[in-house]
Amino acid sequence: MGAEESKTEYQKLEEKLTYSSKNIWEEEGKERVKKVFAYGENYKDFLNNAKSERLTVKWVLGKAKEKGYKNLYDTSEMGPDDSTPDDLGPGDCFYALNRGKNIALVKIGEEAIEDGINIVAAHADAPRLDLKQNPLIEDIEIALLKTHYYGGVKKYQWLNIPLAITGVVITKDNKKVEIEIGFKDSDPVFVIPDLLPHLAQKVQSEKKAKEFIQGESLNLVAGNIPVKDKKVKEKVKLAVLEKLNKDYGILEEDFISAELEAVPAARPRDVGIDRSMIGGYGHDDRVCVFAAVTSIFDSKPAKKTTIAFIVDKEEIGSDGPTGAKSQFIFTLVGAILKKLKKKTGEYSDMLLRETMGRSVCISADVSAALNPMYKEVHDEKNASRLSHGVVLTKYTGAGGKYAANDADAELVGMIRYIFNKNGIYWQYGGMGKVDEGGGGTIAKHLAFYNTSVIDCGVPVIGMHSPYELISKADLYYAYLAYKVFFEKA
């Protein structure tokens, strides 16, 4: 008797009527698993290069150019690129770049663009420690770089780990200098030293976790050799400045016009005896950036025009010209529409607004997966698990869904329908128990244009830590899910 025949009537009914997500590894065969692992290798390679929002966008731009994407719009040139041909047609691929920190990849579809665009939007920024604008000090003959943390961090996680510095400095001659220290094995790194346990009794151990590390004490150790001159007051600081000047031609005042960030120096690596997971810095949200970008690259020309949209500043509220609250996407769609309608002269502000209103967007951001050590913060029936596929989230927010983009049931239904029809492993997952805390994504900022938006991304354990954890199976199914959305939605 086969397994199916041995099932009782109610067992069969249970299978038919009840919902449960599946573990991908349990379901999938050897060939698929091979692809999952191969995609994981490519992702680790990307993540190792994408240590900041600027480096992430740089990687995306480089790959887009390699794939033949043309320049449609670049804010560094302050306007649409006139070298782009006016007769855009189905299958044409373009990129639009905004200040090196925000990029869109566009593939023109077969249908009229005003019927709506399919957008997958992810963010390239991740929590980190930004150097202050006047960062360099000396204390007890140790040179320190002062920081101001960026995004939601648990401060204690950033102590005693190797940190690298990456970013740009604009010099007094208005030239841009790129700085990267700590990624190569031969590079030095930076460390914020914690207090030894022997002496931490009063200063730390009796305090709340939120309070025992002060924001003002997140200083990177940056040098200890003084210049040999008794007449100089801060000898170690001067020696550090001398070295920076020699290597990069910068002065102390140049820090004021700099964006330098301290990020974990550790490489992404396989986690677990079975190598099923990847540990690394910045999965939130570079994992969705990678899935969005590679899926638009690999997607067949579709009915709808498709956009992979990579934004900055999500971790601090999406404000600023490179964040999701900026009108860059609105202007970009306007620029595309204008080119497509040049011959007929149909372009209008109203048509642009209607195009946005008929568009559908996947807000591709990570979700908090169940951590076996801290299950109590989740409602297990409404939480995601590692290796159960891409996570659909109807709403985020906090304290009674406040500040959430609550995706319409109709939209959730449509996405669920196309995922099921195309063999995508997906699961439902919300943020946590009611009143446990909360958070948001860029979903609501794209919904501002009357675009239908749903959150759908990769489950992560240890989110916002210097070494977050994802499953390779979920990563691969995020890629397939976005590809299906681009091609079939």
Q: What does the binding site for Mn ion look like in residue numbers (CB under 5 A)?
A: 284-285, 365
Token pair, residue 205, equals 């151990």
Residue 28 or 285 with smaller CB distance to Mn ion: 285
Query: From the centroid of its chain, how far is CA 14?
Result: 38
Map residue 392 onto helix, strand or coil: strand
| Cα dihedral: 262, 265, 155, 403 (round 10) | 80
Q: Which is nearer to Mn ion, 53 or 284 (CB)?
A: 284
Four-residue CA torsion sign, 210, 214, 219, 221: negative
Query: What is the 8-class DSSP label of residue 314?
Result: G
- Least spacing, CB of residue 431 vs Mn ion, in Å: 12
Distance from C-alpha of 190 to C-alpha of 260, rounded to nearest angstrom: 13
**Considering beta carbons, is residue 261 or 365 the nearer one to Mn ion?**
365
Q: Which residue, judged by CB position, is nearest to Mn ion in the bound state?
A: 285
**Residue number with CB closer to Mn ion (261 or 284):** 284
DSSP one-letter string for 6-25: TS-HHHHHHHHH------HH
**For residues 308 and 96, is the Cβ–Cβ distance under 8 A?**
no
Contact present, 418 and 443 (Cβ < 8 Å):
no
Of 472, 368, 362, 459, residue with least CA distance to 419: 362
Smallest distance, Mn ion to C-beta of residue 410, A: 25
Please, what is the minimum distance in Å from the beta carbon of residue 57 to Mn ion?
16
CB of 192 to Mn ion, least distance (A): 21
Distance between CA 435 and CA 397 in Å, rounded? 10
Least distance in Å: CB of 486 to Mn ion? 21
Shortest distance, CB of residue 365 to Mn ion, whole angstroms?
4
CB 92 to Mn ion: min, Å: 31
Q: Which one, 236 or 311, has the nearer CB to Mn ion?
A: 311
State the sign of the Cα–Cα–Cα–Cα dihedral 84, 88, 89, 92.
Answer: positive
CA distance 299 to 488: 10
166/393 with CB nearer Mn ion:
393
> In the complex with Mn ion, which residue's Cβ is closer, 307 or 443?
443
**Cis geometry, peptide bond prior to residue 285 (ω within 30 degrees of 0):** yes
- Least distance (Å) between residue 56 CB and Mn ion: 13
CB atoms within 10 A of CB 470: 29
Considering the complex, state which of residue 219 and residue 318 has its C-beta at the smaller distance from Mn ion. 318
Helix (H/G/I), strand (E/B), else coil: 361? strand
Nearest distance from C-beta of residue 372 to Mn ion, angstroms: 22
Task: Answer whether 59's CB lies under 8 Å from 78's CB.
Answer: no
Nearer to Mn ion, 151 or 249 (CB): 151
